[in-house]
Structure formats: C-alpha cells, structure tokens
Amino acid sequence: MREHSCGFVLIRQLEDKRYYLLLHYKAGHWDFPKGHVEEGEDEEETARRELREETGITRASILPGFRYEYEYEFGGRGGRATRSKLVTFMLGRTDQHEVRISHEHMGARWVPYSRALKMVTFENAKRMLMTAEEFLRENPRLVGAKFRAD
C-alpha cells in the first residue's frame, strides 16, 4: 500500500535574509509542514490545507519550477506489512511571521538555511532543503513573487 502526502518548503524573505519554517513534531523530529492527500484534493490543495491546519498560515505563493518528491518505507514490525509513502513538496513564500502550531506539534521556528540544515532530522528532508536553497540562489527573481491568499 502506498500513501501520498504533500507539503511546503516555506520561506520568508526579509531584505537579504531568508528564513525557512520548521515544525517540531511530537515524535521529536524537525521537518516541514505536510500531510496526507484527502479524497478529491490535488497536491496544491493538500499542501495549502496542511499548511493552514498545522501553522495557521493562509498566505503562501508557490514558487514555480520547484517540485521535490521522495519515497520511503515504514512499518513492517510485529507482522505488519511494510507500507510506502510518496511525499511531494512545493516551494512557497509567505509574508506571515506568526505561526499557530497544531496539536500535532511541539513548536515551530523560522530559521536561516544553515541552522535549518542542522535542525532537520531526516536525510531526505536535508537533501530537499539543499535542493530548495540551490534553486532559490539560481532564481533570485522568484523571491519577489506576489502572495496568494488561501
């Protein structure tokens, strides 16, 4: 069985400084906002809904040209079947600073790239963060994108 989740690598740009949003999950890891695709939703709808539910952020512009996917397996203990999950991320920008975390999280932080790279727990998320930062450095004009309300 394969599950599908979608989410955002979300940035705030303040003059020449860029900050990434990381969530501290109750399981103890730091990661980006994401969640399961619900029936009838497309990937963008899922990513926006999860962002709103997990952070209270309603204004995010999707930066065109970036899409990152990875797949991993989990479960398989105690006779349970191994499941796989496909995770799709978009790169977004917001002007909202305040984060209202959901019951699923213990905290949230806006951090610069170097700090985010140290905080993110999983290797696949670290690779994604490096890819997003490289994309932004190669496409600096995208950081000036207009904001879209949810």
Domain ranges of the chain: 2-144
Q: In the structure, what pLDDT confidence band is assigned to residue 79 with cuts at 50, 70 and 90?
A: low
More confident residue, 2 or 36: 36
CA distance 148 to 95: 10
Task: Give residue-wise pLDDT tens across range 14-48.
Answer: 878 999 999 999 999 999 999 999 999 999 999 99
Do you know the residue count of the chain?
Answer: 150
Q: In the structure, what pLDDT confidence band is assigned to residue 63 with cuts at 50, 70 and 90?
A: very high
Q: In the structure, what pLDDT confidence band is assigned to residue 95 with cuts at 50, 70 and 90?
A: very high
Residue 98 region by backbone torsions, left for phi larger than 0, else alpha for psi between -120 and 50, else beta: beta
Go through 58-80 and write b for each residue having 16 or more CB atoms within 10 A of its CB, e for each that does not.
Answer: eebbbbeebebeeeeeeeeeeee
pTM beyond 0.75: the answer is: yes
Q: Which CATH class is domain 2-144?
A: alpha beta
> Tell me, what's the pLDDT at 2?
78
Residue carrying the six token digits 């994309």 = 135
Question: Hey, what are 92's tokens?
Answer: 């977004």
Look up residue 41 and give its DSSP letter.
-
> Tell me, what's the pLDDT at 1?
64
